Amino acid sequence: MSEAISGLGTPGRGDSEGLAIRIFEFIVADVDRIIQFLNVTGLQPETLRESANTPHFLLGVLDYVSKDDELLKLIHKDLGIPPDAILSAAGHLAPKPDPVTQADKKPEQRTQLPRRSMFR
């Protein structure tokens, strides 16, 4: 097991993807867990394979797990993956912010409507 996954280091993107895949395999291995996952995420069994190929699927798996304390404890017990490693991995898989911030953008020019006095 790599140092990052065991919680002794900070995981990189590759470690984070591997960790998310292990956790997804853990979810899929139990019928009750996969049914709960499908119900919460809104995915269907027929579309699960297609969804798993999307760029943010693994991030979604980690996000799903991080919101369930009992599942986090079970993963820690059965797989030896501490909750803080899961949260750290989710941070590595999160999309990078757009480098252009609102401060860098010029405000849009709006055309001014003529003002009329209502008191004439």
Instruction: Write out the chain's pLDDT in tens, 120 residues.
Output: 444 444 444 456 668 888 999 999 999 999 999 999 999 989 898 888 888 888 789 999 999 999 999 999 999 999 999 999 998 888 888 887 766 655 566 666 666 555 555 565
Token pair 């986090």: residue: 72
Q: Which candidate, 71, 53, 62, 64, places its Cα nearest to that of 22?
A: 62
Q: Which among 69, 104, 99 has a CA at the least distance from the CA of 83?
A: 69
Token digits of residue 43: 């995915």
Do 20 and 62 contact (CB within 8 A), yes or no? yes
